[in-house]
């Protein structure tokens, strides 16, 4: 599949800059694959669209991972923590990176801040480093680059059920859930720590040439037992989908997910998908096309643009049944 097949036209004003309030007031485009019917609802009405589905959410929590720092020479450096490794070491993206050296210790850009130093351990290439923070990192929540408005409440970039810290980005389909809506659903949680590579646009000419970086996940045995036994499963988001489909293929309950879901994929455990509207030329859009159909997804995205749905992380939702 060529990368150009994952493109679509989107007016800039449809890129949502702020989340709606309350959370479950977001609009929801519903597509029934069996009948090809389309309905326009709100996320608050999700329970009315389900028929005995077990709802599976991703309870990862976004780490305050954007760290403004300075070198001993006074030069400014920004680190974005991507993934926690063993022994207190993190993989991070540094900007600028070229002049940095292993063994350097970077201090907080705010001279009044206590602690917070970062040791550069090893250069990995392409701006990536292994780094060792002094204690737990205390930076800013890293909003996506297409959001140009700061959040009054950083918790709006966390799901209400966020529990296990480790993500560089939010599992955005879950941002639509209020506690009240969650209480109306039969649900269970899995954990996958979202990396920024999930959202990275394709740089290759074809989808097959794209290298998908793995992400850490964990599913409790009792949660998987419920998921396996469920008559129908609704996956909240593409991250949840990849975990469930990996386990359905015999993956262990804890590890790294490197499952690449592209058109032609056979889904073994996910029966319905709740997801946001994704960026063009991304693996996320490819997964939605695999689930809903390539031409059907193009048609639904064109309809969403026509109906003025809001796109991306703080945008509206699409439910595929």
Work out the pLDDT band at 258, boundaries 50, 70, 90.
Answer: confident
- More confident of the two residues 311 and 138: 311
- In the predicted structure, residue 191 carries a pLDDT above the cut 70: yes
Confidence bin at 11 (pLDDT 50/70/90): very high
Whether the pLDDT of residue 198 is over 70: the answer is no
Residues 6+ apart with CB under 8 A from 183: none
| Nearest Cα residue to 6 out of 314, 241, 285 | 285
Helical residues (DSSP H) of 73-209, grouped into ranges = 179-183
pLDDT digits (tens, 9 = 90+) for 23-69: 999 999 999 999 999 999 999 999 999 999 999 999 999 988 889 99
- Residue 214 pLDDT: 79
Mean pLDDT of 181-194: 97
- 40-55 burial code (b ≥16 CB/10 A, e <16): eeebbebeebbeebbb
Topology (CATH level 3) of domain 66-133: Thrombin, subunit H (2.40.10)
Per residue in 106-153, pLDDT tens? Answer: 999 886 555 578 999 999 988 899 999 988 878 888 888 899 998 889
Q: Which of residues 41 and 84 earns the better pLDDT score?
A: 41
Q: In angstroms, what CA-CA distances link 111 with 53, 68, 72?
A: 52, 11, 12
pTM of the model: 0.91
pLDDT of 197: 63
Q: pLDDT > 70: what percent of the chain?
A: 96
* The pLDDT of residue 201 is above 90: no
- For the chain, percent of residues with pLDDT exceeding 90: 73
Q: Which secondary-structure segment (H or E) carries 118?
A: strand 118-125
pLDDT of residue 136: 80
- Domain chopping of the chain, boundaries: 3-62+143-320, 66-133
Homologous superfamily in CATH for domain 3-62+143-320 = QueA-like (3.40.1780.10)
Residue 173: pLDDT band by 50, 70, 90 thresholds?
Answer: very high
pLDDT at 59: 98
């Amino acid at each position: 599949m060529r990368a150009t097949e994952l493109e679509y036209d989107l007016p800039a004003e449809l890129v949502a800059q702020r989340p709606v309030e309350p959370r479950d007031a977001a609009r929801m485009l519903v597509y029934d694959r069996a009948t090809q019917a389309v309905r326009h609802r709100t996320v608050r009405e999700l329970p009315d669209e389900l028929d005995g589905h077990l709802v599976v959410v991703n309870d990862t929590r976004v780490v305050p991972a954007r760290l403004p720092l300075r070198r001993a020479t006074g030069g400014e450096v920004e680190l974005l923590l991507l993934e926690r490794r063993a022994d207190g070491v993190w993989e991070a993206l540094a900007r600028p990176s070229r002049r940095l050296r292993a063994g350097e210790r970077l201090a907080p850009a705010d001279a009044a801040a206590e602690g917070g130093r970062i040791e550069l351990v090893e250069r990995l290439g392409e701006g990536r480093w292994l780094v060792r923070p002094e204690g737990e990192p205390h930076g800013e929540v890293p909003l996506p680059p297409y959001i140009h408005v700061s959040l009054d409440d950083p918790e709006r970039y966390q799901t209400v059920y966020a529990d296990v810290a480790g993500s560089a980005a939010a599992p955005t389909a879950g941002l639509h859930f209020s506690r009240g809506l969650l209480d109306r659903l039969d649900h269970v949680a899995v954990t996958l720590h979202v990396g920024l590579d999930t959202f990275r646009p394709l740089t290759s000419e074809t989808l097959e040439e794209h290298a998908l970086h793995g992400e850490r996940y964990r599913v409790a045995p009792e949660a998987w037992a419920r998921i396996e036994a469920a008559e129908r499963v609704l996956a909240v988001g593409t991250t949840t989908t990849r975990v469930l489909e990996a386990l359905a293929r015999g993956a262990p309950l804890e590890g790294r997910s490197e499952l690449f879901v592209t058109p032609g994929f056979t889904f073994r455990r996910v029966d319905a998908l709740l997801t946001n509207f994704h960026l063009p030329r991304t693996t996320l859009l490819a997964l939605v096309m695999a689930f809903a159909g390539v031409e059907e997804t193009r048609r639904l995205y064109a309809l969403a643009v026509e109906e003025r749905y809001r796109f991306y992380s703080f945008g509206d939702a699409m439910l595929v049944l």
